[in-house]
Amino acid sequence: MSLDKTERGNYFEDFRLGQIFAHATPRSVSEADAALYLALTGSRFAVNSSEPFARAIGYRRAPLDDVLAFNLVFGKTVPDISANAIANLGYAECRFGAPLYPGDTVRARSEVIGLRETSKGNAGIVYVRSSGENQHGDPIVDFVRWVLVPKRDPASPAPAASVPRLGEVVAPETLTVPPGLDLTRYDRALAGSRFGCDDYKIGERIDHRDGMTLEEAEPALATRLYQNNARIHFDAFRARAQTEGGRRLVYGGHVIGIARALSSNGLGNAFHIAAIDAGSHVAPVHAGDTIYAWSEILAKSDIAGRTDLGAVRLRTVVAKNRPCADFPFKTGDAYDPAIVLELDYWVLMPR
Amino acid sequence: MSLDKTERGNYFEDFRLGQIFAHATPRSVSEADAALYLALTGSRFAVNSSEPFARAIGYRRAPLDDVLAFNLVFGKTVPDISANAIANLGYAECRFGAPLYPGDTVRARSEVIGLRETSKGNAGIVYVRSSGENQHGDPIVDFVRWVLVPKRDPASPAPAASVPRLGEVVAPETLTVPPGLDLTRYDRALAGSRFGCDDYKIGERIDHRDGMTLEEAEPALATRLYQNNARIHFDAFRARAQTEGGRRLVYGGHVIGIARALSSNGLGNAFHIAAIDAGSHVAPVHAGDTIYAWSEILAKSDIAGRTDLGAVRLRTVVAKNRPCADFPFKTGDAYDPAIVLELDYWVLMPR
Amino acid sequence: MSLDKTERGNYFEDFRLGQIFAHATPRSVSEADAALYLALTGSRFAVNSSEPFARAIGYRRAPLDDVLAFNLVFGKTVPDISANAIANLGYAECRFGAPLYPGDTVRARSEVIGLRETSKGNAGIVYVRSSGENQHGDPIVDFVRWVLVPKRDPASPAPAASVPRLGEVVAPETLTVPPGLDLTRYDRALAGSRFGCDDYKIGERIDHRDGMTLEEAEPALATRLYQNNARIHFDAFRARAQTEGGRRLVYGGHVIGIARALSSNGLGNAFHIAAIDAGSHVAPVHAGDTIYAWSEILAKSDIAGRTDLGAVRLRTVVAKNRPCADFPFKTGDAYDPAIVLELDYWVLMPR
């Protein structure tokens, strides 16, 4: 008999602690990814929009958006890790390394660092540490994520539970500044915001104000650009039978990208994401939803040896179909029903 | 107290005559902008589609579409000028200079050249002259536009009324031909039309025939590509409460781009827009509308010292949801209710 | 009187046997076409996604997707051949030549090789052989297609019927391998499939499993990217009056592209389409439909002098709004009502 050639992805019982995946389909990126990303998200950070601006502060050229780099690496991991996932539960310990430049080629690998069967026994949580690197082997971004994956056979035995100990916050003294950066020539007027690191106060809240509606075609285009082939995002025929109102589930990483783009209103000089401490997709976003976001300054930190820039820790809270001028968040442990994403991360800003 | 970081844009009382804005977010363009523009508009002008064609007539390489250049410059001006605008009322004195090439970086500035409170007193008209330039400081396109902007406080006092005197037509002897052009090698067969300057007669009318439907996602992608962040185009949640049938308003500059693309059927050798004399968005276009257009030859002019090309002045009339085989326009001063745009402009064509 | 400038395309009585069209609007392609194509189709073939992968097996650089090359050439032919076509009936004798690389410029020509009036007498079938070449004159792809074209005047006389004799299958010994290829360094793990030529058995069937919904905006963007300006794909206002449920007809060539992209699940190492033997659009696809596909191995062939690769002949069957796990096809001569496309073609795979 011939082997079945159709890839059906892994189920919970297919994963082993310590298992390593070298993910398929390396991806060369170009200026076209920058333009498409701009068209898909409306990002306005000057460093990703202007070659002269990026070069003036020491980038070799305009880097691709950090969330695009994250989503490209994430996309590579999907066929092996989350093709059958029920939900993408969380992220931690995400660090950005070398900037991703047009002309680079992204490859990705993942290691299974935790496994835990759910109490119902028909699924389990898979923890993986995924890392992306460029054609020189330089790390671009690595992160831990955990996903809820069903069992193929609900009766298959549970593996020994193993839950990795994950940092709650990336220590600011470990943040990486892209090599060669010198922000003394950073032009705030060109960047569209006069506020630097020192202008933000811990506890300050910022309404990013604008809303962005995600029509069916837009997240579909974006998710294919990321080469994330999780079928749930593409198959409206099945979605009509399975999801609320028949609308397709929007890939959560694209919601992060939209939130980052919206955040330029109020955080226009947060030119680089250095790390993501934690992220949770609290509720699903479906095609047709409109995304709003607000942020709170959680902490600030010097970067050793640098007077030109500093790190700011942000919590960005993302809502659907609800403007955020009044900063909706939680009542006790319960999220406001409009909240879809909570993201805790470090950005670099000029001082 | 910390300063509020959220940008809310300017209101009528924030503008001063003579005020100058150096707009934020310079934008480097690439071949990706050409491909995306083609995918968004369906433009078929050979000069923007083919490197060898463009080089054969003296361009350094295939330039980006003129309306794309206009929309990129316009987009830069939005955060300062029209973030809160109620309507974009008109354009005048628009001149195209250096071609915009992949690899260039666009910057823009505007000067307030007129202010007039409306009779109701709760808003005013702001006239600005905006100009875009490339990284060498060469002018790409400059134009006057006027927009209706609400007051933040309806009780704020009116400024002295000042309405600029604007030319009705750009004088053809002042039109700029991109440097280095020599149309003796212009290949009409490759361009898809056998008609040159001398084949068109003043008063002649041309039905551009094809219709182009603007689905929600398409103008949204285009408007983000132009980095025009006027929220009215992106937020369907608010639009559902505010606009007819809940459909989002389409950015008028994109309607100009669609009309220009449609015009290649009948004006296939109008390879360059040299100037826009006047433009009015007569009625709104909403997502889902289908755009049709027709043109009339208003005038023709020699270009001093050139036998290879001439200038043709066109009126292009754009309608929604109504084919234009019978050339709908005005009855007396009243536009046909289907008309959305009237554009008066000069194109260059081979002779 | 001035000549009517509006192009209305050719009708059946405008075609003559042996007539040659040098099609307009040459098209320079770039990396942006690769990125947009990926965003529009979700293709995952490593050779089109990764520069190092493509170079490792002897391509000068990552080639554009073969179906994109086909659709670009097809698009050029539309204004002359099928602007008024009622239906695109079939393809034959399609051979791929030189890879299409970013930086190339595509031109196309067609020859009328057959004409036959329909029995009703108000239309006819036009057979054309179309060929696309790059800026060096190297053939990229050539193919025969036949289309049903209405008469302008139903009373115009029938031409002598002439139906070309077309090969049913491209002989495998005539298949072209792109020059310079050496698959000894082909990395199956990176390509995402461990199956080579020798792992597939004649008669084997493969469910490509994933579904891809084509929202209105997506085929419209793709079809404009191909510069196919057949108005039926763009004008929803007219479509509402003419097609089922008012949804626009999706360009059949884009359905081929989606099917090819879906086929990477199960045929991940089918890195190149060498020829298309036959193709029929059995039923229309409209915006909003979800596409599924399955394939059968029809034949295999050695390539003379090569041990690194072989040819596999496939039948890919494409359905709308119906998953294909049970391989729907025909009952007798009657297609399952969900089937929209049957494609018979040769791919190259590593051995």
Q: What is the pLDDT at residue B238?
A: 85
Q: Does the beta-carbon distance from A218 to B222 stay under 8 Å?
A: no
| pLDDT (average), residues B95-102 | 98
Two tokens, residue B238: 């608010």
- Number of Cβ within a 10 Å radius of residue A108: 26
pTM over 0.90? The answer is: yes
Banded pLDDT at B244 (limits 50, 70, 90): low
d(CA C247, CA C288): 8
At residue A87, the 3 state secondary structure works out as strand
The alpha-carbon gap from C237 to the nearest alpha carbon of chain B, in Å, equals 6
Q: Which of C174, C203, C186, C219 is nearest to C298 (CA)?
A: C203
Q: Does the beta-carbon distance from C3 to B199 stay under 8 Å?
A: yes
| pLDDT (average), residues B4-11 | 95
Residue B32 backbone class (left: φ over 0; alpha: ψ -120 to 50; beta: rest): alpha
d(CA B247, CA B239): 6
The alpha-carbon gap from A146 to the nearest alpha carbon of chain B, in Å, equals 32
Q: Does the beta-carbon distance from C49 to A236 stay under 8 Å?
A: no
Q: Which of B172, B247, B244, B176 is nearest to B216 (CA)?
A: B247
Of the partner residues A30, A107, A221, the one whose CB lies closest to the CB of residue C39: A221
Q: What is the pLDDT at residue A2?
A: 58
Dihedrals phi, psi of B299, to nearest 5 degrees: -165, 165
Q: Say if CB B93 and CB B241 are below 8 A apart.
A: no
Q: What is the pLDDT at residue B241?
A: 75
Banded pLDDT at B30 (limits 50, 70, 90): very high
The alpha-carbon gap from C195 to the nearest alpha carbon of chain A, in Å, equals 8
The size of the B-C interface in CB pairs under 8 A is 139
Q: Does the beta-carbon distance from B213 to C229 stay under 8 Å?
A: no
Q: Which residues contact A31 (CB under 8 A, 6 or more apart)?
A: A102, B30, B31, B32, C31, C32
The alpha-carbon gap from A235 to the nearest alpha carbon of chain C, in Å, equals 5
Of the partner residues B41, B190, B215, the one whose CB lies closest to the CB of residue C26: B190
Nearest CA in chain A to B36: A36
Nearest CA in chain C to A225: C39
Q: Mark C181-190 as b/e (b = at least 16 C-beta within 10 Å).
A: bebeebbeeb
- Number of Cβ within a 10 Å radius of residue C150: 15
Q: Does the beta-carbon distance from A190 to B3 stay under 8 Å?
A: no
The alpha-carbon gap from B110 to the nearest alpha carbon of chain A, in Å, equals 14
Of the partner residues A42, A49, A50, the one whose CB lies closest to the CB of residue B229: A42
pLDDT at position C3 over 80: no
Q: pLDDT for B39-55, tens place per residue?
A: 999 999 999 999 999 99
| pLDDT (average), residues C341-351 | 98
The mean of the pLDDT values for chain B is 96
Q: Mark C18-35 as b/e (b = at least 16 C-beta within 10 Å).
A: ebebebbbbbbbbbbbbb
Dihedral in degrees, nearest 10, Cα atoms C50, C55, C61, C64:
-50
Residue C25 backbone class (left: φ over 0; alpha: ψ -120 to 50; beta: rest): left
Q: Does the beta-carbon distance from C44 to A227 stay under 8 Å?
A: yes
pLDDT at position C100 over 90: yes
DSSP annotation of A249 reads B
pLDDT at position B1 over 60: no
Of the partner residues A38, A46, A195, the one whose CB lies closest to the CB of residue B224: A38
Of the partner residues B38, B50, B209, the one whose CB lies closest to the CB of residue C26: B50
Of the partner residues A39, A191, A321, the one whose CB lies closest to the CB of residue B24: A191
d(CA C303, CA C313): 13
Banded pLDDT at C2 (limits 50, 70, 90): low
Q: What is the pLDDT at residue A251?
A: 96
d(CA B217, CA B221): 6
User: ipTM of this model?
Assistant: 0.95
Q: What is the pLDDT at residue B2?
A: 58
Q: Which residues contact A119 (CB under 8 A, 6 or more apart)?
A: none
Residues from chain C contacting residue B191 (CB–CB below 8 Å): 24-25
Residues of C within an 8 Å Cβ radius of B: 2-3, 5-8, 22, 24-28, 30-33, 35-36, 79, 105, 107, 135, 215-217, 220-222, 224-225, 227, 229, 231, 234-238, 248
Q: Which of A196, C350, A37 is nearest to B36 (CA)?
A: A37
d(CA B285, CA C62): 41
Q: Does the beta-carbon distance from A235 to C290 stay under 8 Å?
A: yes
Residue A122: is it exposed, middle or buried by C-beta count within 10 angstroms (0-12/13-18/19+)?
A: middle
The alpha-carbon gap from A104 to the nearest alpha carbon of chain C, in Å, equals 9
Residues from chain C contacting residue A236 (CB–CB below 8 Å): 213, 215, 288, 290
pLDDT at position C167 over 90: yes
Q: pLDDT for B142-160, tens place per residue?
A: 999 999 999 999 999 999 9
Range name among A40-44, A247-251, B106-110, B166-170 with the lowest pLDDT average: A247-251
Which of C68, C199, C215, C258 to probe by mutation at the A interface, max A CB count within 10 Å?
C215
- Number of Cβ within a 10 Å radius of residue C171: 11
Q: Does the beta-carbon distance from C25 to B210 stay under 8 Å?
A: no
d(CA B182, CA A287): 50
Q: Does the beta-carbon distance from C235 to B211 stay under 8 Å?
A: yes
Q: What residues does A263 pair with on adjacent strands?
A: none
Q: Which residue stretches of chain A have pLDDT < 70?
A: 1-2, 243-245
Q: What is the pLDDT at residue C244?
A: 62
The alpha-carbon gap from C87 to the nearest alpha carbon of chain A, in Å, equals 26
Q: What is the pLDDT at residue A243?
A: 64
d(CA B152, CA A179): 45
Of the partner residues C105, C215, C231, the one whose CB lies closest to the CB of residue B52: C105
Q: What residues does A39 pair with on adjacent strands?
A: none
Two tokens, residue C140: 């990229």
Size of chain C in residues? 351
d(CA B8, CA B26): 20
DSSP states of C12-45:
GGG--TT-EEE-S--EE--HHHHHHHHHHH----
Q: What share of chain B in percent tops pLDDT 90?
A: 93
Find the farthest-apart pair of alpha carbons in chain C and give their distance in angstroms, rounded.
69
Q: Say if CB B151 and CB B122 are below 8 A apart.
A: yes
Residues from chain A contacting residue B36 (CB–CB below 8 Å): 35-36, 39
* E strand intervals along B30-104: 87-96
Q: What are the structural domains, with CATH classification, of chain A?
A: 13-160+182-350 (3.10.129.10)
pLDDT at position C1 over 60: no
Through-space distance between the first and last CA atoms of chain C, rounded to whole angstroms: 67
| pLDDT (average), residues C236-255 | 84
The size of the A-C interface in CB pairs under 8 A is 139
Nearest CA in chain C to B211: C235
Q: What is the pLDDT at residue A242?
A: 72
Of the partner residues B38, B200, B217, the one whose CB lies closest to the CB of residue C217: B217
Q: Which residues contact A241 (CB under 8 A, 6 or more apart)?
A: none
The alpha-carbon gap from B301 to the nearest alpha carbon of chain A, in Å, equals 38
Chains linked to C by 3 or more Cβ pairs within 8 Å: A, B
Q: What is the pLDDT at residue A246?
A: 75
Q: What is the pLDDT at residue C153?
A: 96
Q: Does the beta-carbon distance from C49 to A221 stay under 8 Å?
A: no
The alpha-carbon gap from B287 to the nearest alpha carbon of chain A, in Å, equals 11
Q: Does the beta-carbon distance from A217 to C215 stay under 8 Å?
A: yes
